[in-house]
Amino acid sequence: MNDPLAKIKPWFQGVSLFWPVLGLGLLLIFNAVFSPSFFHLEIRDGHLYGTLVDILNQGSKVMLLAIGMTLVIATGGVDLSVGSLMAIAGAVAAMLVMKISFAMAVAISLGLATVAGTCNGLLIGYAGIQPIIATLILMVAGRGLAMLLTGGQIITFEHPSFVFLGNGHFLGLPFTVTIVAIVLCFTLVATRKTAIGLFLESVGDNEKAARYCGINAALVKVMVYAYSGLCAGIAGLIATSNIKAADSSRVGEFMELDAIFAVVVGGTPLTGGRFSLVGSVIGALLIQTLTITMYNLGVAPAVSPVPKAIVIVAVCLMQSARFRAQILGWFGKRRIAA
Partner 1 sequence: MSIPVLRAQNISKAFQGVKALDGVELTLRTGEIHALMGENGAGKSTLIKVLTGVYTPDSGGIEFDGVAIAPGSTREAEAAGISTVYQEVNLIPTLSIADNILLGRQPRRFGCLRKGEMKRRAEAALARLGLKLDVGQPLNSCSMAVQQMVAIARALDIQAKVLILDEPTSSLDEREVEFLFGIMRKLRKDGMAILFVTHFLDQVYAVSDRITVLRNGKFVGDYQAAELPRLKLIGAMLGRNFEEMEHLREETAHAAPSRKVFLETHKLGRRGIINPIDLNIAAGEVVGLAGLLGSGRTETAKMLFGIDLPDQGEIQIEGEKVSIKSARQAVQHGLAFCSEDRKSEGLIPHLSVRENLILAMQASRGPLRLLPRKEQDALAAHYIRALNIKTPNAEAQISNLSGGNQQKVMLARWLAMQPKLIILDEPTRGIDVGAKAEIEKLVHSLKSQGMAVLFISSDMEEIVRTCQRVVVLRDRKKVGELSGEDIQVNRIMNVIAHHDE
The residues binding partner 1 (CB under 8 A) are: 14, 193-196, 198-199, 201-202, 205-206, 208-216, 220, 273-274
Which H/E stretch holds residue 12? Answer: none
Nearer residue to partner 1 within complex by CB, 187 or 202? 202
Contact in structure between 335 and 72 (CB atoms under 8 Å): no
Residue closer to partner 1 (CB basis): 208 or 334: 208
Q: How far apart are CA 135 and CA 157, in angstroms?
A: 30
Smallest distance, partner 1 to C-beta of residue 321, A: 13
Q: Which is nearer to partner 1, 47 or 211 (CB)?
A: 211
CB of 85 to partner 1, least distance (A): 24
Among 123, 52, 66, 82, which residue's Cα sits nearest to residue 279? Answer: 66
Q: Would you say 16 or 249 has its CB closer to partner 1?
A: 16
Nearer to partner 1, 74 or 311 (CB): 74
Q: To the nearest 10°, the Cα dihedral for 44, 50, 53, 55?
A: 150
Q: How far is the CB of 11 from partner 1 (least distance, A)?
A: 13
**What are the backbone dihedrals phi and psi of residue 173, each rounded to the nearest 5 degrees, phi first?**
-115, 160
* Cβ proximity to partner 1, 133 vs 195, nearer residue: 195
Q: Are 237 and 109 in contact (CB under 8 A)?
A: yes
DSSP 19-77: HHHHHHHHHHHHHHHH-GGGG-EEEETTEEEEHHHHHHHHTHHHHHHHHHHHHHHHTT-
Q: Kindly report the CA angle at 149 between 143 and 152, in degrees rounded to 5?
A: 70
How near is the Cβ of 61 to partner 1 at its closest, in Å? 28
- Closest distance between partner 1 and the C-beta of residue 4, in Å? 17
Q: Give me the least distance between CB of 213 and partner 1, in Å please.
A: 4
What are φ and ψ of residue 44, in 5° steps? -120, 135
Nearer Cβ to partner 1, position 201 or 247? Answer: 201
Q: Which letter does DSSP use for residue 153 in this model?
A: P
Nearer to partner 1, 27 or 215 (CB): 215
Contact 314/261 with Cβ under 8 angstroms? Answer: no
Distance CA 181, CA 186 (A): 8
Q: How far is the CB of 82 from partner 1 (least distance, A)?
A: 23
Distance, in Å, from the CA atom of 29 to the CA atom of 20, rounded to the nearest integer, reads 14
Least Cβ distance, residue 121 to partner 1 (angstroms): 15
